[in-house]
Amino acid sequence: MANIEVTGLRAAAGWSVSWPDPNVTRVANSWGISCTVLPKVSVTCSGSDWATKVAAGQKLSVGLQVDSLKAPVNPVLTLK
């Protein structure tokens, strides 16, 4: 399980985050985000529903559970 906190430094109509994960096979559950998995390669998630937009100074807490052979160690997140 991973919780992701997004803080808007400026207002954004949408956002996404991705990270490499050589062990991931699928997303089992998510909240506030919609995710796609490239099995054994990467995970990419975008804000959805109530977490699509972020206002300047607003903090959103979203998360997901994935099926994976093991947890990633120090994943490098890319936020767009």
Residue boundaries of the structural domains of the chain: 2-69
Go through 64-77 and write b for each residue having 16 or more CB atoms within 10 A of its CB, e for each that does not.
Answer: bebebeeebeeeee
Residue 30 pairs in a beta bridge with 64
**Per-residue pLDDT at 78 exceeds 90:** no
12-33 average pLDDT score: 94
pTM reported for the whole predicted model: 0.88
8-34 average pLDDT score: 93
13-20 average pLDDT score: 93
User: CATH code for 2-69?
Assistant: 2.60.40.290
Residue with tokens 């559950």: 29
Please count the other Cβ atoms lying within 10 Å of the Cβ belonging to residue 19.
Answer: 16
